[in-house]
Structure 1
Amino acid sequence: MTKWNPGSPAMKTEAENYIAQANKDGIIQASHLKDLQNGNMTTDRLLGLHMTIQQRRNNKKYQN
């Protein structure tokens, strides 16, 4: 599996901020952010995580 390796520091920062906010909102676990920061996140997993976060946010929005 290929590890996610962003082409720019800004891209990594934005991904970290996105995952950190999702964790703060109670949508995902903190382990996902730790894996990204430690270089243990694969590209496939990051993409899947993004879709999961979006889906859960949409579900929360429509439940309220």
Structure 2
Amino acid sequence: MGEDMLYRGAVRAWAEGLGRRAAGMGPAKARELILGEVLENPAVASEEEAVWAAMVALEVALKDR
């Protein structure tokens, strides 16, 4: 259980960083960046994790809009 939480925390930190990178972009470019990065990241092992990581990144990217 501890390893799973550590792994999920690492993926969350990565997704938050991705969201910060996408924050200054327009919607189409931000979506392209987030989806491309999430789908290419080997640490994102399942469709469920990919959706979750993309949602975290989008939440951060849209936070101050």
TM bucket (normalised to shorter chain) is: 0.3 to 0.5
- What TM-score, normalized to structure 1? 0.38
- What TM-score, normalized to structure 2? 0.37
Higher helix fraction (1 or 2): 2
Larger radius of gyration between Structure 1 and Structure 2: 1
Q: Which one scores higher on RCO, CA 8 angstroms, separation ≥ 6?
A: 2
